[in-house]
Amino acid sequence: MNLLILPIGHTLNLKFMKIKIETTHEEPLNELYWAKVQMYADDESKSSQILVLASMEYLSDLYHLNSLENVNKDIFSTWIKENVLKKWEQLGDSIFEQDVHYDVYANSQEGESRGLEFLIKEVK
């Protein structure tokens, strides 16, 4: 399935669920990007939210960019569509067993911990 056709803010209908990526957010002071991804059962009777966060350093290393300044929202959005959504859609209906999921990517365990803490405390 090619998820690259899904623009931010639009809904994609899969066999068993609809996915909507809300606007991505940049946190320059914390050097990270985050987004809310809403997943709904096809009949919209169940839903779950995934809070996705990636450090700029992680994305820069992943895409072999020269500096953190080259990381932007487009890169983050494309990365979500190409990697994160595929991972979560494989769970099928079991994703709806939990209201909120956290998915944090960083180059260190400390970075992952700080990213998770950020999502829990700052994102409503």
pLDDT greater than 60 at residue 32: yes
Range of the domain at 69: 11-122
Give the per-residue pLDDT at 44. Answer: 83
Give the per-residue pLDDT at 120. Answer: 96
**Residue 103 located in a structural domain:** yes
Give the per-residue pLDDT at 53. Answer: 98
Give the per-residue pLDDT at 25. Answer: 96
State the chain's mean pLDDT as an integer: 86
Give the per-residue pLDDT at 4. Answer: 34
Q: Which residues partner with 36 through β-bridges?
A: 51
Domain count, the chain: 1
**Residue 18 located in a structural domain:** yes
pLDDT greater than 70 at residue 22: yes
Contacts of 52 (CB under 8 A, 6+ apart): 34, 35, 36, 37, 80, 84, 103, 104
List C-alpha distances in Å: 78 to 2, 55, 72. Answer: 12, 15, 10
45-95: pLDDT as tens digits: 899 999 999 999 999 999 999 888 889 999 999 999 999 998 888 888 889
**Residue 68 located in a structural domain:** yes
**Does residue 49 contact residue 86 with C-beta atoms inside 8 Å?**
no
**Residue 1 located in a structural domain:** no
pTM of the model: 0.83
**Residue 101 located in a structural domain:** yes
The CATH code of the domain that includes 75 is 3.30.160
pLDDT greater than 50 at residue 6: no
Higher pLDDT, 3 or 24: 24
Helix (H, G, I), strand (E, B) or coil at 87: helix
**Residue 53 located in a structural domain:** yes
